[in-house]
């Protein structure tokens, strides 16, 4: 299936906006969280937050320089976003493991949709004459 140019641009845009937002949040709030992450769980959640922030920055950079690397970086970014989504409610807010699992599953669903939306995940078919 070949995407028309508008659909392709929209899908790039959705992924780029998600990366910009998570990149900012992951780096800025991850650095801030290092100051008060005092339990092992908080430290792991902070590390995964920093990982998804840096992963977002790396994916955005790869879009301009190494397009082949974008999808693998997005996969690592998605794993870090999902891990943070599952851990943060439990370790920072003291919520139940069930809620953490539900938030993690919801986050994973959003990540899967964003990975699907990335138009560069497969090589574009050659143009037919």
128 within some domain? no
68 within some domain? yes
What's the total number of domains in the chain?
1
Q: What is the mean pLDDT of the chain?
A: 91
CB of 123 closer than 8 Å to CB of 98: no
- Cα–Cα distance, 112 to 21 (Å, whole number): 17
- Cα–Cα distance, 54 to 19 (Å, whole number): 10
25 within some domain? yes
Q: Which residues, other chains included, contact 67 with Cβ-Cβ below 8 Å and sequence gap of 6+?
A: 120
User: Exposed, middle or buried, 5 (CB in 10 Å: 0-12/13-18/19+)?
Assistant: exposed
Q: What pLDDT was estimated at residue 123?
A: 53
Q: What pLDDT was estimated at residue 7?
A: 86
48 within some domain? yes
- Report CA 108 to chain centroid distance, whole Å: 9
69 within some domain? yes
CA atoms within a 13 Å half-sphere pointing along the CA-CB vector of 112:
6
44 within some domain? yes
pLDDT tens digits for 58-109?
999 999 988 889 999 999 999 999 999 999 999 999 999 999 999 999 999 9
- Cα–Cα distance, 45 to 11 (Å, whole number): 29
Would you place residue 4 in the very low, low, confident or very high pLDDT band (cuts 50, 70, 90)? confident
1 within some domain? no
CB of 7 closer than 8 Å to CB of 53: no
CB of 73 closer than 8 Å to CB of 58: yes
pTM of the predicted protein model: 0.88
Which helix (H) or strand (E) is 87 found in, with range?
Answer: helix 67-91
């Amino acid at each position: 299936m070949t995407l028309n140019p508008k659909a392709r641009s929209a899908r790039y845009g959705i992924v780029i906006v998600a990366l910009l937002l998570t990149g900012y949040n992951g780096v800025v709030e991850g650095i801030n969280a290092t100051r008060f992450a005092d339990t092992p769980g908080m430290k792991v959640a902070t590390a995964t937050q920093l990982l998804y922030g840096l992963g977002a920055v790396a994916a955005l950079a790869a879009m301009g320089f190494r397009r082949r690397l974008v999808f693998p970086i997005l996969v690592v970014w998605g794993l870090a976003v999902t891990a943070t989504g599952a851990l943060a409610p439990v370790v920072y807010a003291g919520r139940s493991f069930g809620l953490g699992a539900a938030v993690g599953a919801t986050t994973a669903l959003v990540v899967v949709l964003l990975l699907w939306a990335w138009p560069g995940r497969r090589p574009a078919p050659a143009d037919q004459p």
